[in-house]
């Protein structure tokens, strides 16, 4: 395994920075048309930001990380992470981009050309959307304990039964990438065996959604999803039955980077608001930004954000190069989410009492950045990974 000690300066080449800058400039073209006020209005109206999504498709941004032969715009996780960061930097974070980016990885890497054309190609223009479902009420972080089960039918298809929880954007998605067991956990020798990936058409009979009451300021809401005898065709299975765990982990590493990008962008967005406010607001006759207690807090957060950004770019580059990027992706998400929390916390402190006025839009950022320390994977699991796989310490759970 490549440990972080092998990270070197050559990875952040001028070419890499140009690739990131191109994506970010294109993203700015879209967020200028659809800024934070637009997304806040969509949240208020509880509707999907269709106009923004279509424009991202028109600009070719939704096709990032998908090969051009399948209707994508090429590039890799580096580019789509840069997009996620750029959207968040403008105050327009979208969970859908995280889940779409994640859901497409195993299909592009392990699906048949027909499956890629059917499920992935239409997402590049924004014609269809995908969500991702792994979390279950009784399994939580321990995904291997999931009980959602797909059983083979005589006709060569599958029947799906079970439930998933916290599924972002399930109402607005056309397809869902579901991780299910095809052999029960109690019947496998190793817990990684017997898991499979399926793509569901959300209009299939037997799928029922219940909206959860989640307090995070995004346009995507979360759902409890029930599968009651959902009939799936044979081509719903991605890769080989029972071998889905490895495919899933490839996708999860990219999800960590997408989450890191969103966290870093949102952290920088909050920090820019704090800096602007601290230059204007005066107490004791001086701008509050001149007081070191605040200035250092903001400077510390900025340094953390930049360090996390370097780690994220480096991990994305490794992922795209086909290297084992697990350690780096986990560290990037850990550091990115912590930096974002530090930045929003500094912004709250800087705004004093006004930080808690929703109209200043600072306290509204808090649930989202705090969420990043818990989802898509909690930071404790990332530390467990680093302890066990990078430092070689005994497994603790
Ligand atoms: C807004 C939102 C959006 C989400 N979107 C999606 C989605 O689109 N698709 C999807 O599948 N899921 C989604 N999730 C689910 C999310 O990934 C889970 O909530 C998260 O993985 C944690 O699972 P849990 O909530 O069951 O926590 P639990 O598993 O109950 O864990 C609770 C806490 O215990 C600690 N903990 C647990 N295990 C260990 C351990 N081994 N070592 C140390 N500490 C541990 C951690 O601090 C953790 O935060 C979303 C959640 C939210 C809130």
DSSP letter for each residue of 121-176:
HHHHHTSS-EEEE---TTTTT-GGG---EEEE-TTS-EEEEEEEEEEETTTT-SEE
Say whether pLDDT at 3 is over 50.
no
Beta bridge pairs of residue 200? 176
For a pocket test of ligand 1, which of 136, 141, 395 has the largest count of ligand atoms closer than 8 A to its C-beta?
A: 141
Q: Which ligand 1 atom is at minimum distance from the Cα of 133?
A: 11
Residues with CB under 6 A from ligand 1: 99, 131-135, 140-141, 166-168, 214, 216, 222, 371, 374-378, 380-381, 384, 397
- Lowest mean per-residue pLDDT among 4-18, 59-73, 127-141, 366-380: 4-18
Q: How far apart are the CA of 4 and the centre of ligand 1, in A?
A: 26
CA of 139 from ligand 1 middle (Å) equals 10
- Torsion 276-280-282-287 (CA) sign: positive
Q: Whose CA is nearest to atom 2 of ligand 1?
A: 166
3-state helix, strand, coil in the chain (%, to 5): 55, 15, 30
Q: Which atom of ligand 1 is nearest to the CA of 131?
A: 8
C-alpha of residue 338 to centroid of ligand 1, in Å: 16
Residue 396 belongs to some domain of the structure = no
Question: In the prediction, which pLDDT does 250 show?
Answer: 80
Using the 3D structure, point to which of 243, 271, 288 is the last residue of a domain.
Answer: 243
Q: Which residues contact 196 (CB under 8 A, 6 or more apart)?
A: 150, 179, 180, 181, 182, 237, 238, 239, 240, 241, 242, 243, 244
- Quick one: tokens of 182? 């095809």
Tokens standing for 278? 């601290």
Q: Is the pLDDT of residue 124 over 60?
A: yes
d(CA 254, CA 196): 18
Same domain, 143 and 213: yes
Ligand 1 centre distance from Cα of residue 3 (Å) = 26
- For the cut 80, the answer to whether the pLDDT of residue 2 exceeds it is no
Element holding 287 (H helix, E strand):
strand 286-287
206 and 191, same domain (yes or no): yes
Residue 249 is predicted with a pLDDT of 84
pLDDT for residue 12 = 54
Q: What Å distances lie between residue 57 and 144, 203, 340, CA to CA?
A: 35, 23, 28
* CA 380 to ligand 1 centroid distance, Å: 10
| Residues 329 and 378 occupy one common structural domain | yes
Q: Tens of pLDDT along 48-60?
A: 999 999 999 999 9
Average pLDDT over all residues of the chain: 94
The verdict on residue 397 lying in a domain is: no
Range(s) of the domain holding residue 317: 245-390
Atom number of ligand 1 nearest to Cα 169: 8
Domain shared by 41 and 23, yes or no: yes
Q: Which atom of ligand 1 is nearest to the CA of 98?
A: 8
Residues 11, 82, single domain; the answer is yes
What does DSSP say about strands 158-168 and 149-152: parallel, antiparallel, or unpaired? antiparallel
Identify whether residues 119 and 144 lie together within a single domain. Answer: no
Q: What CATH number is given to the structural domain containing 151? A: 2.40.110.10
For residue 397, which atom of ligand 1 is closest to its CA? 41
Task: Answer yes or no: do 82 and 17 share one domain.
Answer: yes
200 and 282 in a common domain? no
Q: Over the stretch 309-322, which tens digit does the pLDDT of each residue have?
A: 999 999 999 999 99
Residue 252 lies in a domain: yes
How many angstroms is it from 268 CA to the middle of ligand 1?
25
Give me the CATH number covering residue 292: 1.20.140.10
Q: Is the predicted pLDDT of residue 8 greater than 80, yes or no?
A: no
Same domain, 19 and 93: yes
Residue 96, pLDDT > 70, answer: yes
Query: Do 119 and 210 fall within a single domain?
Result: no
Confidence of residue 351 (pLDDT cuts 50, 70, 90): very high
**Residue 295 to residues 175, 292, 352, 353, 356, Cα–Cα distance (Å):** 46, 5, 14, 18, 20
Tally of structural domains, the chain: 3
């Amino acid at each position: 395994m490549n440990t972080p000690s092998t990270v070197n300066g050559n990875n952040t080449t001028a070419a890499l920075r140009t690739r990131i800058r191109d994506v970010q400039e294109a993203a700015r073209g879209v967020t200028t048309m659809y800024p934070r006020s637009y997304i806040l209005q969509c949240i208020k109206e509880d509707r999907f930001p269709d106009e923004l999504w279509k424009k991202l498709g028109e600009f070719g941004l939704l096709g990032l990380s998908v090969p051009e032969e399948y209707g994508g715009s090429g590039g890799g996780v580096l580019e789509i992470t840069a997009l996620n960061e750029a959207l968040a930097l403008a105050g327009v974070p979208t969970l859908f981009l995280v889940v779409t980016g994640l859901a497409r990885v195993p299909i592009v890497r392990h699906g048949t050309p027909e499956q890629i054309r059917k499920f992935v190609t239409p997402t590049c223009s924004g014609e269809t959307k995908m969500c991702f479902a792994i979390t279950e009420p009784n399994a939580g972080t321990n995904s291997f304990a999931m009980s959602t089960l797909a059983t083979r039918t005589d006709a060569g298809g599958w029947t799906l039964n079970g439930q998933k929880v916290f599924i972002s954007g399930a109402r607005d998605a056309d397809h869902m990438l579901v991780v299910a067991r095809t052999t029960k956990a109690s019947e496998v020798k190793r817990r990684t065996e017997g898991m499979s990936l399926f793509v569901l058409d959300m209009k299939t009979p037997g799928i029922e959604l219940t909206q959860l009451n989640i307090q995070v300021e995004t346009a995507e809401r979360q759902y409890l999803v029930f599968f009651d005898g959902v009939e799936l065709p044979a081509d719903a299975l991605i890769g080989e039955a029972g071998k889905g765990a490895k495919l899933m982990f490839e996708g999860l590493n990219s999800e960590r980077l997408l989450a890191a990008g969103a966290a870093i962008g949102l952290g920088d967005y909050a920090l820019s608001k704090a800096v602007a406010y601290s230059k204007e607001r005066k107490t004791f006759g001086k701008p509050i930004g001149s007081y070191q207690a605040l200035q250092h807090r903001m400077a510390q957060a900025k340094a953390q954000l930049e360090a996390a950004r370097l780690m994220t770019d480096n991990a994305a580059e490794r992922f795209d190069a086909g290297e084992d990027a697990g350690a780096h992706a986990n560290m990037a998400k850990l550091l990115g989410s912590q930096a974002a929390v530090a930045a929003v916390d500094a912004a709250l402190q800087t705004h004093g009492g006004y930080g808690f006025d929703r109209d200043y839009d600072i306290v509204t950022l808090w649930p989202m950045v705090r969420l990043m320390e818990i989802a898509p994977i909690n930071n404790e699991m990332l530390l467990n990974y680093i302890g066990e796989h990078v430092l070689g310490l005994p497994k603790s759970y």
